[in-house]
Amino acid sequence: MRLILVILAAIWTLPAAALDLNAPFTNIDGGTLKLSDWAGQPVLVVNTASRCGFTDQYEGLQALYDRYQSRGLIVLAVPSGDFRQELASNEEVKDFCTLTYGIDLPMTGITSVRGAHAHPFYVSVAKDVGFTPAWNFNKILIAPDGTVAATFGSTVRPLSSILTDEIEPLLN
């Protein structure tokens, strides 16, 4: 009986699955980037699409980045074709975002965020907190310690108090 209790105690105290912050993303500007590059900073990771009803959130994402970048916030746009609303190439996405919204926040190349081909970061978020993007412009807030601080659906606007109230305590 004692052995069973020891085994059960060990199982219950296992740490949660760690987020994969080291898996490289293709950088839309060339090369790669990793979430671990911003260790110690809050990072808002947003799966985006250029042809979505929520695409105008790019404007708010850029404004959020501009507002809080000097205090440590990184906003990472992750274009995804998983919902069939993204342009065909990284170059088209970059041109669209730059010309239409003046985006200069970090962006990955087109990346799968769900399903069998999901990027390892998204797989680890699903395992760690049970969150998988249900649509474009879902948001994952990573705390400076590398844990998931909060997740948000598409309807949460980038400058809404629902989101900024979660971000502000994490800033420098």
Domain at 41-170: CATH architecture: 3-Layer(aba) Sandwich (3.40)
**For residue 88, how many other CB atoms are within 10 A of its CB?**
9
User: What residue type is 97 in one-letter code?
Assistant: C
Q: How far is CA 69 from CA 19, 61, 116, 141, 168, in A?
A: 23, 11, 33, 14, 11
Question: Residue ranges of the domains in the chain?
Answer: 41-170
User: Is 97 part of the annotated catalytic residue set?
Assistant: no
What tens-digit pLDDT sequence spans the chain (172 residues)?
554 433 434 434 334 458 999 999 999 999 999 999 999 999 999 999 999 999 999 999 999 999 999 999 999 999 999 999 999 999 999 999 999 999 999 999 999 999 999 999 999 999 999 999 999 999 999 999 999 999 999 999 999 999 999 999 999 9
Q: What is the pTM of this model?
A: 0.90
Catalytic residue among 23, 52, 143, 149: 52
Task: Give the CA dihedral 68, 143, 159, 76, nearest 10 degrees.
Answer: 80
